[in-house]
């Protein structure tokens, strides 16, 4: 009994500490945008909404959020569709060397998406005429996200029972129909999770967007955020904090929507 009480108490303390640890850095995002004279310190703001008016006056701010939506949404859609098709086929049909191939791609993706491949990626995009296009960003980031997406989705697909598919086949459904009407509903939490994950990665991504887009009219919010400095090079904290908040809202809203609607998890499906 004593052990149980001590355990309960330790758990409660741990929860409190974890809550504080994860909340603390975010406080600034909640206070600074509404502060008339924002500093680095988190403080109770001298309340104002003037910062929001100022950021709306910035010629690129709103457009950059639209660009982020195009690039992030495009990449998320592409990754979910292609990864679902590939994961399904890899999960259901035995291909020799399948696991090794998946691991190799996963390895490559974790390395290549870094700074290492910047020069080749830039040269490739130049030759394919993809510089300064949304499509260029979408294709490049999707290539990097796909291996992990296939890897995670295949786990979901492996755990769904195949008996439904067998009966659907008896009634003459085509593989694509089976995938759409039977498998997709079963793994919807997985697909939703991958979509959120892909969009969130592109939303905060900086490096590729920075080197592939020269035209500020095409730049996403993550790049525009780094232009909010004074001419002397000091950060404009009022604009940066306000824009950070505005820029965070869409991904947070999307996460809330998806987790409410489909659940948000990385593993599972129905047990075999």
Partner 1 sequence: MAPTTSPPGDAAGLGKARAAAFVLPALVLIGVFLVFPALWTIYLGLTDYRLTGLAAADPQVVGLDNYTDALTDPRFLTSLWLTVAYVGGSAVIGQAGLGFTLAWILRGRTGPVRRAVEGVVLLSWILPSTVVGFLWFALLDRDDGTLNALLHTPGLAWLLDHPLLSIIVFNVWRGTAFSMMLYSAALENVPPSHLETARLAGAGVPQQLRDVVLPLIRRHVLTNLLLISLWTFNDFTPFVLTGGGPEGRSEILPVYVYNIALKGGELGAGAAVSFLILLINLIFALAYLRLLRGRRKSLTGPPA
Site for partner 1 in 165-204 (CB under 8 A): 165-166, 169, 175, 178-179, 183, 196, 200, 203-204
- Interface with partner 1 by CB under 8 A: which range of 46-54, 58-66, 158-166? 158-166
Rounded CA-CA distance 76/1 in Å is 50
- State the angle between helix axes of 50-57 and 237-261 in degrees (0 to 180), rounded to the nearest 10: 90
Rounded CA-CA distance 213/226 in Å is 14
Q: Is 95 an interacting residue with respect to partner 1 (CB under 8 A)? A: yes
Q: Which of 46, 50, 66, 110 binds partner 1 (CB under 8 A)?
A: 110
| Residue 110 three-state SS | helix
Q: How many CB atoms lie within 10 A of CB 120?
A: 10
Q: Is 103 an interacting residue with respect to partner 1 (CB under 8 A)? A: yes
Residue number with CB closer to partner 1 (19 or 36): 19
Rounded CA-CA distance 31/24 in Å is 12
Rounded CA-CA distance 113/148 in Å is 12
Under a CB-based contact definition with an 8 Å cutoff, are residues 74 and 68 in contact? no
| Residue 36 three-state SS | coil
Residue number with CB closer to partner 1 (32 or 187): 32
Under a CB-based contact definition with an 8 Å cutoff, are residues 157 and 183 in contact? yes
Q: Which of 51, 64, 71, 222 binds partner 1 (CB under 8 A)?
A: 222
Q: Is 48 an interacting residue with respect to partner 1 (CB under 8 A)? A: no
Q: Is 54 an interacting residue with respect to partner 1 (CB under 8 A)? A: no
Q: Is 1 an interacting residue with respect to partner 1 (CB under 8 A)? A: no
Q: Which of 9, 119, 135, 270 binds partner 1 (CB under 8 A)?
A: 119
Instruction: Name, in order, each residue with C-beta under 8 angstroms of 265's C-beta and a sequence gap of 6 or more.
Output: 189, 190, 193
Restricting to residues 229-258, name those near partner 1 by CB under 8 A. Answer: 235, 240-241, 244, 247-248, 251-252, 255
Q: Is 133 an interacting residue with respect to partner 1 (CB under 8 A)? A: no
User: How far is the CA of 117 from the CAs of 5, 71, 231, in angstroms?
Assistant: 54, 20, 32
**Shortest Å, Cβ 240 to partner 1:** 6
**Shortest Å, Cβ 113 to partner 1:** 7
Q: Is 227 an interacting residue with respect to partner 1 (CB under 8 A)? A: no
State the number of binding residues for partner 1 (CB under 8 A): 99
Under a CB-based contact definition with an 8 Å cutoff, are residues 158 and 121 in contact? no
Rounded CA-CA distance 146/82 in Å is 8
**Shortest Å, Cβ 74 to partner 1:** 13
Q: Is 9 an interacting residue with respect to partner 1 (CB under 8 A)? A: no
**Shortest Å, Cβ 122 to partner 1:** 9
Q: Which two tokens stand for residue 254?
A: 């999307």
**Shortest Å, Cβ 48 to partner 1:** 18
Q: Which of 148, 195, 212, 213 binds partner 1 (CB under 8 A)?
A: 148
């Amino acid at each position: 009994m004593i052990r149980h009480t001590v355990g309960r108490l330790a758990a409660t303390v741990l929860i409190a500490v974890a809550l504080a640890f994860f909340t603390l850095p975010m406080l600034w995002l909640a206070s600074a945008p509404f502060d008339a004279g924002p500093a680095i310190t988190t403080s109770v703001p001298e309340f104002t909404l003037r910062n929001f008016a100022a950021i709306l006056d910035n010629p690129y701010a709103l457009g950059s959020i639209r660009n982020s939506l195009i690039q992030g949404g495009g990449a998320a859609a592409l990754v979910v569709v292609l990864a679902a098709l590939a994961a399904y086929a890899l999960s259901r049909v035995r291909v020799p060397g399948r696991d090794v191939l998946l691991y190799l791609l996963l390895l490559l993706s974790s390395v290549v998406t870094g700074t290492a491949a910047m020069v080749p990626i830039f040269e490739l995009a130049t030759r394919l005429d993809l510089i300064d296009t949304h499509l260029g960003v979408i294709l490049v980031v999707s290539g990097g996200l796909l291996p992990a997406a296939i890897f995670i989705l295949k786990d979901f697909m492996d755990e769904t029972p195949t008996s439904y598919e067998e009966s659907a086949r008896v009634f003459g459904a085509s593989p694509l129909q089976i995938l759409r009407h039977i498998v997709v509903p079963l793994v919807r939490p997985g697909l939703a999770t991958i979509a959120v994950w892909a969009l969130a990665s592109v939303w905060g991504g900086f490096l590729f967007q920075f080197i592939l887009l020269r035209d500020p009219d095409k730049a996403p919010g993550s790049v525009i955020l780094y232009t909010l400095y004074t001419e002397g090079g000091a950060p404009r904290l009022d604009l940066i904090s306000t824009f950070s908040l505005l820029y965070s809202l869409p991904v947070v809203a999307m996460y809330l929507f998806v987790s409410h609607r489909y659940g948000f998890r990385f593993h599972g499906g129905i047990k075999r």
